[in-house]
Amino acid sequence: MASRTGANARASARKQKDKWKAKRWFTIRAPRFPWNFKRIGETLGEIEEHIIGRTYELTQQEFDGDFSKMHVKLRFSVTECVGQEALTEFVGHTHQSDHVRRQIRRYRGKVDGVVDVVTVDGYLVRLKPLMITEKRIKSSVKSAMRQKARDVILTNASRKTYAELQKSLLGGELEEEIRNAVKVIYPVRSAVIRRSQLLQSGVVPESGPTLDEIHAEEERQTAEVAARKAAALAAAEDDGDVAEEAGVLAAAEAMEAVAEKAAEVATESAEEAEEPAAEETEEETEEPAVTDSEDDFSTLPGVGPATAKKLVDAGLSSFAALKEAGVDGISETKGISAALAQKIIDHLS
């Protein structure tokens, strides 16, 4: 009986469908107004009904590239699916709690509030302003600042559509207006809308770009980017070939210069090596030298026929001339070193 139950379980397990294989990717897009169905992410789902109602969060830095707003989290809720496209609605934003805590200190004052506004197109939105003062303040000052911020928010939001309010919130224009209004009452360190929440949707405009137009524009931009990349790669390859040829020529010239320098050094070394060898040969040679010297130079140490001829040709034809010339004068003679000149002077002394 147990074996039959186990076989049935294995058979039913084989018949189960892998749910992951049935899932597909949906592209999440921001609202048409004011973001023109901007692509903001992707989500995985089996059917469209599972996607509708999901809330997608991302930072404002990821959304529009503003690095100074990396602590702001945006929330979009999927309202409709068109094929593989998940269309959303902006349902609010919030400042991360750790960022808010860093702004508040014991010696500073904190003023916050809650304001419900209705836009021109009938959207009901809840805004929560937060103001941080440089020092601690009294409750009466807090009440005055809170009421001033409420008046600014109501006046501003009641004249705008929901799309314009979104831009004002994320762009910082509304926060700047609040800051300028309340700093007259007391100096503030910062004034922000720390949280917004969509309570009720209003009239959705039908005008504006369609998904097909957005797809065509994205394909065009993709093609332009691909063309620019191809052109850049081609230019880089051409520059690389030219640079490689220039590098080869420069290397060849450098090698040639090094070879010439090495040849010069080798020639000088060979000449220096020949001079002592010639001196030793002259010392060992016992053949008489035919010179025009007045004295017998063969009696000098290290002086052979060749060296004696060099001395005579240099005008040093006698021992007296050698003594008068000294070590410096004798060593100036080509092929005679300072050491040999010193030997000659020591012998004559």
- Kindly report, residue by residue over 310-334, the tens digit of the pLDDT: 888 887 878 888 888 887 878 788 7
- State whether 112 and 148 are in the same domain: yes
- Per-residue confidence (pLDDT) for residue 241, from 0 to 100: 61
CA torsion through residues 55, 60, 65, 71, sign: negative
Least confident of 173-187, 191-205, 212-226: 212-226
Residue 7 lies in a domain: no
CB atoms within 10 A of CB 108: 16
Q: Which two tokens stand for residue 129?
A: 């302003």
The mean pLDDT value for 162-172 works out to: 94
- Per-residue confidence (pLDDT) for residue 289, from 0 to 100: 42
Q: Is the pLDDT of residue 235 over 70?
A: yes
- Per-residue confidence (pLDDT) for residue 347, from 0 to 100: 80
- Per-residue confidence (pLDDT) for residue 274, from 0 to 100: 52
- Kindly report, residue by residue over 295-316, the tens digit of the pLDDT: 777 778 878 888 888 888 887 8
User: Mean pLDDT in the chain?
Assistant: 84
Read off φ and ψ for residue 82, nearest 5 degrees.
Answer: -120, 100
CB atoms within 10 A of CB 63: 20
pLDDT over 90 for what percent of the chain?
A: 49
CB atoms within 10 A of CB 111: 23
Please state, in angstroms and rounded to a whole number, the distance separating the CA atoms of residues 70 and 63.
10
Q: Is the pLDDT of residue 64 over 70?
A: yes
Please state, in angstroms and rounded to a whole number, the distance separating the CA atoms of residues 250 and 238.
18
Contact 136, 176 (CB under 8 A): no
- Kindly report, residue by residue over 34-48, the tens digit of the pLDDT: 899 999 999 999 899
Read off φ and ψ for residue 234, nearest 5 degrees.
Answer: -65, -45
Residue 70 lies in a domain: yes
The mean pLDDT value for 53-67 works out to: 95
CB atoms within 10 A of CB 190: 12
Q: The domain spanning residue 328 has which CATH number?
A: 1.10.150.20
- Kindly report, residue by residue over 78-116, the tens digit of the pLDDT: 999 999 999 999 999 999 999 999 999 889 999 999 999
- State whether 278 and 306 are in the same domain: no
Query: Of 92, 119, 141, at which residue does a domain stop?
Result: 92
Please state the pTM of the whole predicted model: 0.62
Please state, in angstroms and rounded to a whole number, the distance separating the CA atoms of residues 140 and 346.
112
Cβ neighbours of residue 106 closer than 8 Å, sequence gap 6 or more = none
Question: In Å, how far are 87, 130, 318 from 24, measured between CA atoms?
Answer: 16, 42, 112
- Per-residue confidence (pLDDT) for residue 123, from 0 to 100: 96
- State whether 128 and 198 are in the same domain: yes
Residue 14 lies in a domain: no
Contact 83, 98 (CB under 8 A): no
Residue 15 lies in a domain: no
Domain encompassing residue 147: 96-204
Give the pLDDT band (50/70/90) at residue 270.
low
Please state, in angstroms and rounded to a whole number, the distance separating the CA atoms of residues 154 and 44.
40
Give the pLDDT band (50/70/90) at residue 237.
confident
Q: Is the pLDDT of residue 139 over 90?
A: yes
- State whether 108 and 172 are in the same domain: yes
Give the pLDDT band (50/70/90) at residue 288.
very low
Residue 162 lies in a domain: yes
Task: Provide the domain count of the chain.
Answer: 4
Please state, in angstroms and rounded to a whole number, the distance separating the CA atoms of residues 29 and 178.
31
Angle (deg, nearest 10), helices 338-348 and 319-331: 160
Least confident of 178-182, 236-240, 248-252: 248-252
Contact 330, 315 (CB under 8 A): no
- State whether 151 and 103 are in the same domain: yes
Please state, in angstroms and rounded to a whole number, the distance separating the CA atoms of residues 48 and 284.
111
- State whether 246 and 191 are in the same domain: no
Amino acid identity for residue 90 in this structure? F
The alpha carbon of residue 293 and the mean position of all alpha carbons in its chain are separated, in whole angstroms, by 82
Give the pLDDT band (50/70/90) at residue 250.
confident
Residue 260 lies in a domain: yes
Q: Is the pLDDT of residue 176 over 70?
A: yes
Residue 6 lies in a domain: no
